[in-house]
């Protein structure tokens, strides 16, 4: 790697460390409940132009995340008749059927953009709830990360 390229990579890392989740997160968060029908959720996500949504439990804590990727996977299962809830085949299952909930990955408002990028890559996720004092403070989506990352890259390229 040339000295100039090495310098740019170091500058990029410094800039990525300076940007925090609180700087780029969406603070007004659309959430859903596990009992909502996927058809209703899909309509809401399309209307709001979002690709992922935290799922809130009874105690108003994040219990999962549902994304457009989850909806696409379930679409295939619905077409194949492989969606069962309460012992019956469903064509419009609830959110809890589709949501990712094994271990909900969350971050705090001071998580750096560098760490968010690494987390998204290593965990293959693109919607991350931002938690502060046990409460949902915001959400970071792939578009938030892409917008900020490439704005920095473009600025460094000038």
pLDDT digits (tens, 9 = 90+) for 66-121: 999 999 999 998 888 888 766 667 788 899 888 877 789 999 999 999 999 999 99
Task: Identify whether the C-beta of residue 84 lies closer than 8 Å to the C-beta of residue 90.
Answer: yes
Top-tier CATH class for 3-156: alpha beta
pLDDT given at position 84:
76
For the residues 48-62, what does the mean pLDDT come to? Answer: 92
Average pLDDT, the chain: 91
pLDDT given at position 88:
67
Q: What is the pTM of this model?
A: 0.88
pLDDT given at position 91:
85
Give the H or E element holding residue 117.
Answer: helix 113-123
> Residue 7 pLDDT > 90, yes or no?
no
pLDDT given at position 6:
84
Question: What is the Cα 50 distance to its own chain's centre?
Answer: 9
Distance CA 13, CA 45 (A): 33
Count of other CB atoms within 10 angstroms of residue 92: 15
pLDDT given at position 4:
79
> Residue 29 pLDDT > 70, yes or no?
yes
Distance CA 60, CA 135 (A): 8
> Residue 55 pLDDT > 80, yes or no?
yes
Q: What are the structural domain ranges in the chain?
A: 3-156
């Amino acid at each position: 790697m040339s000295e100039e390229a090495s310098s740019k990579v170091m500058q990029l890392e410094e800039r990525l460390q300076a940007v925090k989740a609180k700087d780029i997160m969406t603070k007004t968060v659309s959430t859903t409940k596990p009992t909502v029908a996927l058809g209703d959720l899909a309509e809401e996500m399309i209307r709001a132009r979002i690709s992922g949504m935290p799922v809130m439990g009874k105690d108003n804590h994040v219990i999962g995340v549902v994304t457009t990727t989850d909806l696409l996977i379930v679409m295939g299962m619905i077409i194949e008749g492989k969606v069962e809830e309460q012992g019956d085949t469903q064509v419009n299952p609830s959110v809890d059927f589709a949501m990712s909930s094994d271990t909900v990955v969350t971050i705090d408002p001071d998580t750096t953009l560098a760490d968010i990028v690494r987390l998204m890559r290593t965990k293959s996720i693109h919607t991350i709830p931002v938690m502060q004092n046990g409460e949902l403070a915001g959400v970071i989506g792939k578009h938030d990360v892409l917008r900020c990352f490439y704005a920095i890259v473009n600025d460094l390229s000038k």
